[in-house]
Amino acid sequence: MTVNRPDLGLPPGSLVYVGDRKPTETSLSIIGYDPIGSWTRTADTVEELLSYRNDAGITWINVNGLDDLESISKLAQTYGLNSLSIEDILNTEHRPKVEEFEDHLFIIAKAITWNNEKGPEYEQISIILTNNTVITFQEHPGDCFDAIRKRIEVNAGRIRKMGSDYLAYALLDSLVDEYFKTLDKLGQKLEEFENQAVDETGRHFLKQLQNVKQQVLSLRRIIWPQRESISSLARLDTDLISEELQPFLKDLYDNILQCAETIESYRELIISIMEVNLSSVSNRMNEVMKVLTIISTIFIPLTFVVGVYGMNFKYMPELEHPLGYPITWGVMVLIALGMVAFFKRRHWL
């Protein structure tokens, strides 16, 4: 459905798309909405993008890719970001954090998605929150925000009735939801390793498990700082975050805390799997060594007998006896059988 909405700050004659258009993956896109309607636009330049700003409602600006430094700088300067914030946006290895400024909040978060071949993949999401605008900077096209865009389009839930702070919360909440999906995939993988821990004794198993351990550590280095940043966001005393949003931030903190606790349980599980596997390998080695030791022990007296009759002294009466050879074999067989019976009685075999 399309309606004319001159109060949204669009050029005369522009149409507003309400619930029937999805945003296109481009470098620059913008979504504007209020309780009455919503619209989506894409732009080739920052100047074109800014001409679509929704002064009467909420504006969500999204930048895909960080290669166009000029456009990013123009957009950042328009909303009062300093040079250090711009550097943080471009530095995709930055830790998650929240910084408070006079007229905006600067949030760095991490998106985590699961790749069936490579495991967890990471992307930095920078979020700028002002009174009526949210700006997101992403490394690559494609994200986990489609559900939010759909809710804006169809006016589902409370998102179009709330301010820009709720939109920023919804974006962070979507990222945390993806954390749960990634952790669930990783948990399934660890269950497979747990089931194989007793039977697998090769290096390949330990190499794969070590790789998963590194993935867990990488997730921990992201989720724990993210927990701290969400905690600091909930404690901020700023007009940019309404009192109405506090319960949602508390729920978000509880969710990220659950993710952090899950990561810790995975670390302990990996250690347990390694211990079980190493114990299994050690037990198998002990079994092999026990068998070899028993065989060696059986052959000690046999070697003694053979050694005695192999000295080739001239005067050894047994050497001249016609039954000397079979008697010697019989004695050695009886010694071996007797030792096997003794080992079995002592439950060593």
Count of other CB atoms within 10 angstroms of residue 3: 11
Number of DSSP helices (H) and strands (E) in the chain, helices first:
9, 9
- Enclosing H/E stretch for 216: helix 203-235
What is the largest distance, in Å, between two alpha-carbon atoms of the chain? 127
Read off the tokens for 238: 């700023």
Axis-axis angle for helices 246-308, 324-345 (nearest 10): 150
Residue 48 corresponds to which amino acid?
Answer: E
pLDDT of 150: 92
Residue 28, CA distances (Å) to 66, 123, 132 in order: 11, 18, 18
> Six-digit token pair at 48?
């074109």
Token digits of residue 31: 């979504």
Mean pLDDT of each 10-residue bin along the chain, 349 residues long: 38 36 58 90 87 84 87 86 88 89 92 89 92 90 86 90 93 94 92 84 83 92 92 90 92 95 93 85 82 86 83 73 80 86 81
Q: How far apart are CA 6 and CA 35, in angstroms?
A: 15
- At the second CATH level, the architecture of 285-345 is Up-down Bundle (1.20)
Task: Give the strand order in the sheet containing 119-129.
Answer: 38-43, 28-33, 58-64, 133-138, 119-129, 105-115, 97-100
- The structural domains of the chain, with segments of one domain joined by +, span 2-279, 285-345
CA distance 145 to 149: 6
DSSP conformation letters of 221-241? HHHHHHHHHHHHHHH---TTS
- Which CATH entry fits the domain spanning 2-279: 3.40.50.720, 2.60.120.1270, 2.60.120.620, 3.30.460.20? 3.30.460.20
How far apart are the C-alpha atoms of 69 and 62, rounded to whole Å? 15
Q: Which residue has the tokens 């962070």?
A: 172
How many CB atoms neighbour CB 342 within 10 A? 11
pLDDT at 126: 93
Q: Are 280 and 197 in contact (CB under 8 A)?
A: yes
Tell me how far apart the alpha carbons of residues 95 and 65 are, in angstroms, rounded to a whole number: 19
pTM, entire model: 0.76
d(CA 18, CA 74): 29
Q: Phi and psi dihedrals of 182, rounded to 5?
A: -65, -45
SS3 80: coil
